[in-house]
Amino acid sequence: MDGPKSTSRNQPELLRAQTQQALRQILRDSQSKDANTRLLAFQRFTSIFRKFSGPDPEESTMHVAAELLEKGLLKPIAEGLKDCVAAPWRILMQGFTILSQSEVCIKALECLALDSRTVKYILQEDPTLPAVLRALFLNELKLAERSASPPDVRVTRAILQTLPRFFMVDSAREETGRSADFLNAVMRHALRHFQDLVTVHARLLLWSSCEEQLEEEDHSLMVLLATALEYGTPAARAKDTCPPPGVSIHEDAKRLANADPSAWARARVLRTLLAQEPDTDGDNFRVRFVRPKASDGARGVEGAQKAEMMGIQPAERKKATRCSGPGCDEAETRPGEFQMCGGCRLAVYCGKDCQRRAWKAGHKETCQKTA
């Protein structure tokens, strides 16, 4: 690496001689003909780079990422991901640690996709990468269904965290929105892992990637996911697996949710996360879904009626988010404008001042509980 040669104590860690030397070795190892050597190089790169690649990376971090891309780090990572689509069981034993080739390559890619500049460069070099990530996600679920074992949640979580980074480029977002198989797979993942924070992330992925489809074509998609998020309660089902006679699936789901004390807290958290004002009486679990336009015709009306029959209250879509800072009423002028908390990845702030005030006001404890 050819970073600045300053020896100042205030020099960014990524530009220090020891880190630069490690990155140069990683770059060399990433070009090795040995697959294990390449995989270990990607893992070392992620362990070094991940702590610098938060929601607001420093200029030095983006500089180093751009330099690594230009020097060829992307190509072996992309090839590794494509190998995973063809042979998803490839793993490497390192002592007592099992390294998943899929997970390691995905996380390395996430570290490189820092901002619109690096994302555009990545897609210019290999425009197929979003499709490769979607294929890997589908493979994980298909393998799990064939083997009757749960999918590797580390891989599915990594994909759902990485893919939205490419939505900085509209074509990648729109392409994902047209992938019905992938979106359905995301919903199946949400059904199994609704209690995981990644479910909320997956829901945001659905919302941002297919907003046109959801608004004009398929209201039932959002209704189904909303039901999964609000009413999925494994704890209650474990105690009561037999629904009463004559009760519909949705009615039974709501009954179980009401019987599960943790579901109430989860519903309140979800309402907050999905940018909806909480109920004052707490009697209904409410989520946002797309209110159909008059021009949508019978299909849109049918979707609304179905939602209301399920007890889901209609609400206008809110495309932007309010700042999570205490006492701050600032709202985004466009989705994704505000900075996301790097710990819980749920709270968003219009600036560092609001983030500091929120931290002192108690977000520190909340963030540690949800991270």
Structure confidence by residue, pLDDT tens digits, 341-357:
777 666 778 888 888 88
Q: What is the pLDDT of residue 304?
A: 46
> For residue 44, what are its two tokens?
């070392």
274 against 349, higher pLDDT: 349
pLDDT tens sequence across 240-257: 555 556 655 555 555 555
pLDDT band at 45, cuts 50/70/90?
very high
pTM: 0.57
CB atoms within 10 A of CB 313: 14
pLDDT per residue as tens digits for the range 55-103 = 677 888 888 898 999 999 999 999 999 988 887 555 655 555 677 889 9
**Whether the predicted pLDDT of 28 surpasses 70:** yes
pLDDT in tens, 174-195: 888 778 778 777 766 765 665 5
Per-residue model confidence (pLDDT) at position 56: 74
pLDDT value of position 74: 96
Spatial contact of 240 and 252, defined as CB atoms under 8 Å apart: no
Query: What does the pLDDT average to over 359-367?
Result: 70
Give the pLDDT of residue 104: 92
According to the model, what pLDDT value does residue 106 have? Answer: 95
Give me the phi and psi of 92, to 5 degrees please: -130, 130
pLDDT at 212: 52
Residues of the chain with pLDDT > 90: what percent?
A: 19
| Rg of the chain taking only CA atoms, in angstroms | 22
Centroid of chain to Cα 38: 26
Query: What number of CA atoms fall less than 13 Å from residue 208's CA on the CB side?
Result: 24
